Amino acid sequence: MRTALEPVVTPVAMGRIDRRAIDSGIVGYRLMLMAGAAIAASVLRHYGDAAGVDVLCGPGNNGGDGYVAAKMLQTSGMCAACYSLGDPVKLAGDAACARDDWGDEILSLEDYVPTDGRVVIDALFGAGLQRDVEGVAVRVIEAVNAFDIPVIAADLPSGLSGESGRVRGTALRASRTVTFAAPKPGHFLLPGRDLCGVLEIADIGIPSRCIEAETEGLWLNRPPLWRDALPRLAANSHKYTRGHLGVFSGGYRQTGAARLAAIAGLRVGAGLVTVLSPASANAANAAHLTTIMLRTIDGGADLDGLLEDMRFNSFVLGPGFGVGEKARDFAERILGAGRALVLDADGITSFAGYHDQLAEAAAKQDAILFITPHQGEFARLFPQIASNASRSKVEQARSAARETEAIVVYKGADTVVADPSGRAAICDNAPPWLATAGSGDTLAGLLGGLAAQGMPGFEAACAAAWLHGEAANRAGARLIAEDLANNLPAFSEFQEY
Ligand SMILES: NC(=O)C1=CN([C@@H]2O[C@H](COP(=O)(O)OP(=O)(O)OC[C@H]3O[C@@H](n4cnc5c(N)ncnc54)[C@H](OP(=O)(O)O)[C@@H]3O)[C@@H](O)[C@H]2O)[C@@H](O)CC1
Ligand SMILES: Nc1ncnc2c1ncn2[C@@H]1O[C@H](COP(=O)(O)OP(=O)(O)O)[C@@H](O)[C@H]1O
Ligand SMILES: [K+]
């Protein structure tokens, strides 16, 4: 069985999905019963021998899920207590039904005290969190966090924005989070991912057609998103049909980054890889290269000569290259010649303040531009987008992609890939030991190598980011960047993933 795509939906889109399901004849309260049942099942599965469960219920439907879970746990023999934020008489709609079905005492949240041996169900706020948490909710959230007891969050840990993964004032730290129908960006974007603990996605009976109808081009970055676009070898493939990647080297003291990128590009399948080096760095490069070729490129005229060879179809520019006019000039010549360019590191910083010039170059016929900024580089190239903290990392990456006609790989533990059409994917497979010198250079090389093989841009960027994380997982925690290329999985491994 081939696993399906995994859409990620914003809380606003989730509201539309709920409405579609209800309009198609599914009773809204039935969805809440299923949601509460999924939370109760998780408590029983993981904390079935707890002394009891304290359910913290908010003023909306998230609170409703809490009352349903409390009732089910009580029915199954577990001691359950409900605490309400605000007057439970004011609950409306499905949440009021859930309160009535609970039918037992409801205590005030003011009176809640964390107790050792008991489990907490956090049903204060979910998708409807609109502003910073305040008052008694803050006090309770901080008390629970300090007490270190198991917390199962309904939909989202309270205080976490499902849209951006950011904290609104304060947020609970959950052991597990049970969300419904589809995950939200805040489950994967930092710090949200850390606050959710283990994520469970419960099927509450919403038909997949309702989810698909509201999917807004955002997915979890997993092989089903790009495996069909991976380069495939034919019996008559030869090295030139697999593409020729050129990687620019820095000066003689900055050559290692280019070689890391070059070896990754070769290992991921480019037919040929050449390090393009200033004459001053040729000796350093030559001393370390075997399969990878070396060519001197000092100035624009050398590069124009090289670009006459159409077999050079993909380039990496930036790692160790140096910041300045030369990087801008080289990037513009490559894009002007209609090639794929991975602009990384110093290449990105060189365009700080020259962002329009980059967009103009990327719009050239046949050019494909990838930019792979980490947070600091992103802020340098897109200061206005980065300073708008109300927008999620996904929205920031999408804006950057639109503005520069580029495929943006906005790096970090929660790398986001976005293309100018608005498609985006969030990575969640990168281990923290990937934060090591040279790891970004390797990612640039992987991407350059996939682009050399003609893989479409968005898919190539998603595949490169996922393979990078997977290689790091396989290499293990003592990883150094040199290990990444040797730990790449074979494509055949997940073609049936
Ligand atoms: N829809 C469905 O079919 C299904 C939905 N389900 C569940 O519903 C949840 C969404 O429910 P929801 O939309 O009622 O929002 P919810 O998270 O309860 O919060 C809204 C309440 O909180 C209040 N409030 C907000 N921020 C606040 C703050 N900072 N400080 C204080 N108060 C604040 C806000 O007050 P207001 O802003 O109106 O003053 C309002 O009263 C979703 O996460 C899932 O668990 C499941 O049952 C499956 C079926
Ligand atoms: N905490 C982390 N967890 C997972 N991946 C990380 C983490 N920190 C960084 N990374 C990844 O490691 C790479 C680092 O790239 P970069 O910052 O350019 O480093 P360098 O310039 O040293 O190569 C990026 O792919 C980034 O997504
Ligand atoms: K919650």
Minimal-distance CA residue to ligand 1 atom 30? 133
**Of ligand 2's atoms, which has the minimum distance to the CA of residue 260?**
23
Of 434, 436, 466, best ligand 2 pocket probe by most atoms within 8 Å of the beta carbon: 434
**Of ligand 1's atoms, which has the minimum distance to the CA of residue 156?**
43
Cβ of 477 below 6 Å from ligand 2:
no
pTM: 0.96
Residue among 382, 414, 387, 413 at smallest CA distance from 400: 382
Of 259, 321, 323, 374, best ligand 2 pocket probe by most atoms within 8 Å of the beta carbon: 374
How high is the mean pLDDT of the chain?
96
Cβ of 265 below 6 Å from ligand 2:
no
Alpha helices in 292-374 (DSSP H): 300-307, 325-336, 345-350, 355-362
ipTM of the complex: 0.96
In the chain, what percentage of residues exceed pLDDT 90?
Answer: 95
pLDDT, tens digit (0-9, with 9 covering 90-100), for 354-378: 999 999 999 999 999 999 999 999 9
Q: Annotated binding site: which residue ranges?
A: 61-65, 122, 126-132, 155, 158, 257, 320, 374, 411-415, 440-441
Ordered domains of the chain (ranges, CATH): 11-216 (3.40.50.10260), 223-494 (3.40.1190.20)
Determine how many CB atoms are found less than 10 A away from the CB of residue 4. Answer: 10
Distance CA 300, CA 92 (A): 69
Minimal-distance CA residue to ligand 2 atom 26? 412
Q: Mean pLDDT across the stretch 333-352?
A: 98
Ligand nearest to the CA of 196: 3
Q: Kindly indicate the confidence band of residue 389, based on its pLDDT and cuts at 50, 70 and 90.
A: confident
SS3 285: helix
Minimal-distance CA residue to ligand 2 atom 18? 440
pLDDT score of 496: 57
Ligand nearest to the CA of 11: 1
Q: Which residues surround ligand 3, an ion (CB under 5 A)?
A: 122, 126, 153-154, 158
pLDDT of 497 strictly over 50: no
**Of ligand 2's atoms, which has the minimum distance to the CA of residue 372?**
18
In the chain, what percentage of residues exceed pLDDT 70?
Answer: 99
Helices 28-47, 61-75: axis angle to 10 degrees equals 50
DSSP string, 216-274: -SEEE--GGGTGGGS----TT--GGGG-EEEEE--STTS-HHHHHHHHHHHHTT-SEEE
Distance CA 74, CA 463 (A): 47
Distance CA 409, CA 326 (A): 23
SS3 453: coil
CB 327 within 8 A of CB 317: yes
